[in-house]
A = this chain, B = another copy of it.
């Protein structure tokens, strides 16, 4: 049972629109046990569409087409489907009523172009579009299923959620694909691979799959198993996860949530603790990540962004003599920044950063990418030195994640003690 997704539209090929539809469809199909074999993006061109449909017919059992159903001249998907299935267009009364109601609700005049949107291929089953005027269409031809939907994400998602996914589930006897994630941080993909090599070999030999999904500073691991017996598949994947966790535990920040700022927020909420930050080189990005979480205002008090030394001294009580002696990028200064933030905002925890993000400002002793991070609580201050690369935005991004991870470790320890 394989699916293929065909995305039609010049704006996708030109890169003016990022194709989020096919990602959404991939996620939803994998959840009901259908694997997407291929995604193909093509232009609004009849021959190209016909060729893509023919090729997909050979590769896949389910072909989902999005795009090209609008009312304007460059939308040719419907007419091309009529040609492909060798059928004809007829006005569908139910869809016409739907369109009429849609326009009435919005107080807009219906034109002949809009009425023509109710003309559908004779051989299709309608998948109602509650959010727009272009209906979804379901075709069963030659043992294969074709679905055609508008490219507007809001409408496509509506059609699938309201009707499409259920109809796919009941039509196909889909296999069970079970997968679980392990989210790691602060460790490279190759180091991780060597650490778990033996486990990985055994896993593959037993028919499971493992994927490494790297992102800056992080690697996600995905363990997958396909089996008719869903319970058995769940058990199998869980066993593998349980086996590997002891090997990599210190690098794992979650098994459920890919955003470390959410993990940290949940821990702070659970422990009833508050947080403040004093950022220098990360320039507000840690604050931005923390406050991207809805409800952060209940544990996050505020931050002083001390980009200049004057601010470090006046606002965060850093000793000017230490800046003179050790430099602003030093363990001494980052420690005082963290303590200063803790005191100023009267919080339980604080994070501080100071470093050379680049592209200039480096020296032999302290090259670009040298970044000190501190996490303070009433129990004391933990500091760590990171040696990152030459890219400013990446340094800011990675240092922010490393800082949140240092806090996460402190909170996890506190949580264990509480239990």
Contacts and interface: CB of A to CB of B under 8 A. Distances in A.
A74 interface: yes
Nearest to A179: B14
Interface in A15-37: 15-20, 22-28, 30, 35-37
Given A72-B212, A345-B311, A283 B294 contact: no
Nearest to A41: B39
Interface residues of A, number: 108
Please state the number of chain copies in the assembly.
2
Interface stretch (A119-127, A166-174, A183-191, A409-417): A183-191
A291 B283 contact: yes
Contact of A40 (B39, B108, B190, B388): B39
Kindly name the residue among A7, A194, A360 whose own CB sees the greatest number of chain B CB atoms within 10 A.
Answer: A194
Given A16-B27, A17-B213, A388 B292 contact: no
Contacts of A106: 387-389
Interface stretch (A248-256, A371-379, A391-399): A391-399
A294 B392 contact: yes
A224 B105 CA distance: 36
Contact of A131 (B222, B295, B391): B391
B11 A15 contact: no
Contact of A41 (B22, B210, B279, B288): B22
A1 interface: no
B38 A74 contact: no
A288 B291 contact: no
A411 B347 CA distance: 37
Interface stretch (A88-96, A238-246, A298-306): A298-306
Given A72-B189, A106-B388, A284 B296 contact: no
A308 interface: yes
